[in-house]
Amino acid sequence: MLRKVQKLLEKKTYKHYVLLCSAGVDSMVMLETFHRLKLPCSVVHVDYGLRGKESTEDAQFVKERCEAINVCCDILQANLKQQLHEKGGNLQQEARKIRYAFLAEKLANIPESIGVTAHHQDDQLETFWLHLIRGSGLSGLSGMEHVADQILRPFLSVSRASIEQFARKNTLTWREDLSNQNNQYLRNLLRNEALPMLYQEHPTLRKELLLLMRKFQQTHRLNRRLAKELSAKWKEHQEIPHGDLAVETTVLIEAMKELGIEPRFLSTMLELTTLEPGKQLLIHDKLRLIQGKKSFKLLSDKPLERFQFTVIPTQSLPSKFDAWTWYLNPEDLMEDLELSSYLPHETMMPIGLAHEKRINAILKAASIPKHERDQWPVLKCGSSIVGIPGIAISHFFRANLQGTSFIKITFVQC
């Protein structure tokens, strides 16, 4: 098992790994693995305060284990029970938001770092069944990837049984979370009752599902590439030909998302193609589709004309940074840079913040008047938001202070 994980980690290395650990066996094996491979790492743990003394003891257990192997450990105390009482929400979803926001905060302060979770093969299969039950599309059925969105999952090809076997063989200790036995949560019900019976009746099903998920992932990656090409053509010509609506549905939906058009609009667009030209479909306050004879014309506001930017390479960083001149890492810019209108739901995490915020909220906090906020663009690299000119840059695109080459972006208001 150790060798399998090591091979994966050798494919792309990072200067630092931030391990998101519980006190369970998966996390303790992950910590032991990174310790044995002598990889530079630290640990973050969240005490949600849901199980009283048990939660406190879990946090203490993780801290003591880290101290024993000389690994830095940061623990977040979060009163999730009170938060749910005051604001409501789904417990598991809110817990996930808290731990990943805490992880992102730590990554923002460590150059060339990546977060690491102990998701394993059984988690992958459980996720498949959850998405299948909930009617998810291809992206959901594809499951998790080994590396995505600043998260590394080195155990995805390792079964829970192999992890537990490694732990027992190496006399590792861990703590059991009794809430994992609570079958009121669908994942626990699947894990504890439904899937064991299903796999017992069909011994080859696990292997077949994993093969199917790999094929789904390959198809989904191809669909995303085709969708980017299709949406790029739409942007270039500022229209969506009616004929393109016959493209395979999963590709079409991904392409629409690139333009900020939610999938729910597809049925209306198809209906409009049967009507007389001139009908309009309001997507949001910055984009309308105008029905033509052979295509939908894209009609959007032009806030981008208020800004221009220049891009030049440089080998040095200034002693002081400002919001109108950015320094980016060349390796982070794998796609073209362009100014774009932001969508109402779009968010980013500015340097210095511990969580994502809506673009509009960031502009409001910067005292930009409402009538100007609607016209303020963002700079994008592909579909990723690099930052807001004159306001803030995303921590995911922060310059590596130890780097030797940079891309200097300078904004000018017209």
pLDDT confidence band for 209 (50 / 70 / 90):
very high
Structure tokens at 245: 């609506």
- Asked if 51 and 23 count as a contact pair (C-beta separation under 8 A), the reply is no
Choose among 178, 167, 169, 180: nearest CA to 31: 167
Q: Is the CA virtual torsion 121, 122, 125, 130 positive or negative?
A: negative
Structure tokens at 72: 């830095």
139-147: average pLDDT: 85
Tell me what pLDDT residue 166 has.
94
Tell me what pLDDT residue 305 has.
63
3-state SS class at 28: helix
**How many angstroms separate the Cα of 155 from the Cα of each of 24, 42, 107, 168?**
14, 18, 20, 17
* Model pTM score: 0.61
pLDDT tens digits for range 379-388 = 999 888 999 9
Asked if residue 408 has pLDDT above 90, the reply is yes
DSSP state of 151: E
